[in-house]
Amino acid sequence: MRTVEDKAFLLLIVAVSLAFAWIVWPFYGAVLWGIVTTILFAPLYRRLTKTMGQRRNLAALSTVVIIVAIVILPLTLLGVSLVQEASAVYRRMQAGELDLARMFQQMVDALPAWATGLLDHFGLVSMVELQERVSDSVMKGGQFFAGQAFSIGLNTFDFIANLFVMLYLLFFLLRDEAALFVRIKNAIPLRAEQKQALLLKFTVVIRATVKGDLLVALLQGALGGLIFWILGIGAPLLWAVVMAFLSLLPMVGAGLVWLPVAIYLLATGALWQGVGLIAYGTLVIGLVDNFLRPILVGKDTKMPGYLVLISTLGGLASFGLNGFVLGPVIAAMFIAAWDIFSASRLEAIDDSTGC
């Protein structure tokens, strides 16, 4: 009878947990970023708690205000400016002011014969085919940005509601972080060392993903946008965001943007601008990842670069912007769970053989 009761109670736990997840799902993004922000700014909250004489409510409120001032407001303004700039670029393409096919032809004309032959081998010199590809890309890009602009205007209330939920949850997660951590740790039905390993991996990956990948991407994008602005290249903010996303790609990254622009500058006679952009992209943008990421992340994640890339892109494709964190976290938990399972199997084998 005891077994039947235990199974029934376990089924009840699963049922109510799924029901709770279904209720919270419309705000899962707000909950996710509330947890992520709590993990990132918990050290600041603890420092403020000590400074303010253990007044946890005041320390949590102060932390939330700081987060709003230095993170949320700048990102909101950046997002609005980005949509406006992207819409302006799309309008220029529609009006014919920005002719990508002509710019590509200028680059092709400036290339040596062997490079032109290589492009011709892949069918990239044909202007008819190029026009079709450019038109298709412009149409898709225009639809995307137009949809984003419409979505922002239409879903302003949803954005404000999610932001309020995130900040409200953030306050209580910061204030009660110690008690919540103990309750979650006690509720996980695993051995103590397994729980410790999983929770440690979870927090480490979130910090590494945001501190490492996000900050490095933002810095590379900002440096790229800065040099584009100095050189007078149109839509520097838009290109900065594109370079920030592409910085997730190993080896090439932001070079997929600044290198073709540098080649175009050289092809159109702007020699010092082209040479300067190549030098800046190689020595400044390209080396940021090599120097800054080890300082911010170290070797805590122990995840191969290709797995970080695949999980990040897969997360973005599956969950949108939230997948930037969810993808690497799921991948890291997958590795951690299988490592724990393998260790448990080896331990069981050793015990059975008496080694």
pLDDT at 299 over 60: no
**243-252 pLDDT, tens digit each:** 887 776 655 6
pLDDT at 127 over 50: no
Q: Are 59 and 49 in contact (CB under 8 A)?
A: yes
Q: Are 264 and 106 in contact (CB under 8 A)?
A: yes
pLDDT given for residue 151 in this prediction = 55
pLDDT at 320 over 90: no
Average pLDDT over residues 315-324: 79
pLDDT given for residue 83 in this prediction = 72
pLDDT given for residue 49 in this prediction = 92
Average pLDDT over residues 266-278: 84
Q: Three-state SS across the chain?
A: CHHHHHHHHHHHHHHHHHHHHHHHHHHHHHHHHHHHHHHHHHHHHHHHHHHCCCCHHHHHHHHHHHHHHHHHHHHHHHHHHHHHHHHHHHHHHHHCCCCHHHHHHHHHHHCCHHHHHHHHHCCCCCHHHHHHHHHHHHHHHHHHHHHHHHHHHHCHHHHHHHHHHHHHHHHHHHHCHHHHHHHHHHHCCCCHHHHHHHHHHHHHHHHHHHHHHHHHHHHHHHHHHHHHHHCCCCCHHHHHHHHHHHCCCCCCCCHHHHHHHHHHHHHCCCHHHHHHHHHHHHHHHHHHHHHHHHHHCCCCCCCCHHHHHHHHHHHHHHHHHHHHHHHHHHHHHHHHHHHHHHHHHHHHHHHHHCC
Q: Which of 8-22, 180-194, 277-291 has the highest mean pLDDT?
A: 8-22
Average pLDDT over residues 21-49: 88
**183-208 pLDDT, tens digit each:** 877 877 777 777 777 777 777 777 77
Residue 328, judged by CB atoms within 10 A of its CB (0-12, 13-18, 19+), counts as buried
Average pLDDT over residues 77-99: 70
Helix extents (H) in 176-270: 177-187, 192-207, 215-230, 236-246, 255-267
pLDDT given for residue 352 in this prediction = 66
Helix (H) / strand (E) containing 273: helix 271-280
Average pLDDT, the chain: 76
Residue 59, judged by CB atoms within 10 A of its CB (0-12, 13-18, 19+), counts as buried
**45-61 pLDDT, tens digit each:** 999 999 998 899 999 99
Instruction: Answer with the residue of higher pLDDT: 147 or 240.
Output: 240
pLDDT at 128 over 50: no
Average pLDDT over residues 235-240: 82
Q: Which of 68-72, 206-210, 332-336 has the lowest mean pLDDT?
A: 206-210
User: Against a cut of 0.75, is the pTM above it?
Assistant: no
pLDDT given for residue 347 in this prediction = 72
- Cα R_g (the chain), whole angstroms: 25
**147-162 pLDDT, tens digit each:** 555 555 556 677 788 8
pLDDT at 303 over 90: no
pLDDT at 68 over 80: yes
pLDDT at 176 over 80: yes
Q: Which of 1-5, 148-152, 279-283, 298-302 has the highest mean pLDDT?
A: 279-283
